[in-house]
């Protein structure tokens, strides 16, 4: 397996794929002319590490997209981020919880992308969660000394890495639905999908269900592109029934992954992650394992 350095992005999300990046990179199919399309950008950790020459990163969260577009435009730089977090972190160290909620209210009013990264790095467990009115509602992480010099340098370096990638690659960041994004693809594209894990993520503001899982499959089949989908295969208690129900035609690659819930070692739960692809690698060639027109869309409805 590839063991190259994995770059962590500046925006944290739940379920970030940092530990799975080597496995994903080992199994993606790219050429110099391939357009990378990522309909569920999230943290962006996969695409940022694959670092394709041409890419479309999309998400329905406008604040993630705005943050990276501001870096692309140069209105947010690593220097600006450092200054902002030093100033805001200094206030947080004095005012503690009251200041966190002051910034949260300010963000929900004005949507400053710098406030967004401040909240993302000082809220509980690095979560990104919104209520039905699309207001950020994650509680405080109760770490008034969160923005130490070393921590700010770490975040600054993460932003600087994105700045460097944007100098040499043609990347677009779009706020739109996964359907709109997948429809940009053709046979020269590679689509990587990391949707909310069906049957597991129940607190998304845009919650995921069986109907959306089927729509995603239909859109991918219609795209005529090679694709890879991240999902969960099974844990100690149950398995993902939708792999056989919806994604039955895919090739499956698995890897054990541990999730931490709480501080105790007993809460370290293993789960088998799955990468589902519509191709297999044979030698130096990649071959579609099912022609898109050979799979009836109606097979997915019953």
Residue-wise burial string across 127-162, b where 16 or more C-beta atoms lie within 10 A, e elsewhere: bbebeeeeebebebbebbebbeeeebeebbebbbbb
Q: What does the angle CA 151 – CA 85 – CA 145 come to, to the nearest 5 degrees?
A: 55
CA nearest to 34, candidates 230, 212, 241, 191: 191
| Token pair 């993902």 in the structure block, residue | 240
pLDDT value at residue 199: 75
Contact 93, 86 (CB under 8 A): no
pLDDT value at residue 3: 52
Strands (E), 44-115: 54-59
pLDDT tens, N- to C-terminus, the chain (302 residues): 445 799 999 999 887 788 899 999 999 999 989 999 999 999 999 999 999 999 999 999 999 999 999 999 999 999 999 999 999 999 999 999 999 999 999 999 999 999 999 999 999 998 999 998 999 999 999 999 999 999 999 999 999 999 999 999 999 999 999 999 999 999 999 999 999 988 765 444 457 899 999 999 999 999 999 999 999 998 878 899 999 999 999 999 998 865 554 444 444 567 899 999 999 976 555 667 654 444 544 455 44
Question: What distance in Å separates the CA atoms of residue 106 and residue 91, rounded to the nearest whole number?
Answer: 15
| Token pair 């080992």 in the structure block, residue | 26
How many other CB atoms are there within 10 angstroms of residue 5's CB atom?
8
Question: What distance in Å separates the CA atoms of residue 78 and residue 84, rounded to the nearest whole number?
Answer: 10
Query: Global pTM?
Result: 0.89
The tokens for 237 are 């208690």
């Amino acid at each position: 397996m590839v063991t190259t350095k994995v770059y962590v992005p500046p925006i944290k999300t739940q379920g970030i794929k940092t530990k799975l990046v080597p496995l994903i990179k080992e199994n993606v199919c790219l050429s110099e002319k391939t357009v990378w399309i990522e309909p569920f950008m999230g943290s962006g950790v996969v695409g940022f590490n694959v670092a394709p020459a041409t890419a479309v990163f999309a998400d329905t969260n406008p604040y993630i997209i705005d943050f990276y577009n501001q870096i692309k435009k140069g209105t947010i730089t690593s220097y600006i981020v450092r200054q902002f977090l030093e100033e805001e972190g200094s206030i947080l160290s004095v005012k503690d919880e009251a200041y966190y909620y002051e910034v949260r209210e300010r963000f929900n009013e004005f949507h400053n992308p710098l406030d967004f990264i401040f909240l993302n790095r000082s809220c509980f467990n690095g979560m990104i969660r919104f209520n039905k009115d699309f207001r950020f509602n994650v509680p405080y992480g109760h770490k008034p000394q969160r923005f130490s010099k070393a921590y700010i340098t770490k975040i600054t370096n993460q932003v600087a890495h994105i700045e460097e990638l944007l100098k040499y690659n043609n990347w677009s960041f779009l706020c739109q639905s996964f359907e709109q994004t997948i429809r940009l693809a053709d046979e020269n594209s590679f689509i990587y999908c990391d949707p909310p894990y069906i049957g597991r993520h129940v607190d998304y503001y845009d919650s995921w269900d069986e109907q959306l899982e089927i729509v995603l499959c239909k859109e991918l089949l219609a795209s005529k592109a090679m694709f890879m989908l991240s999902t969960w295969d099974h844990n100690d208690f149950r398995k993902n029934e939708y792999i056989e129900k919806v994604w039955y035609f895919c090739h499956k690659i698995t890897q054990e992954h541990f999730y931490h819930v709480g501080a105790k070692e007993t809460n370290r739960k293993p789960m088998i992650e799955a990468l589902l692809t519509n191709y297999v690698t044979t030698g130096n060639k990649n071959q579609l394992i099912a022609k898109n027109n050979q799979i009836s869309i109606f097979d997915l409805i019953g």
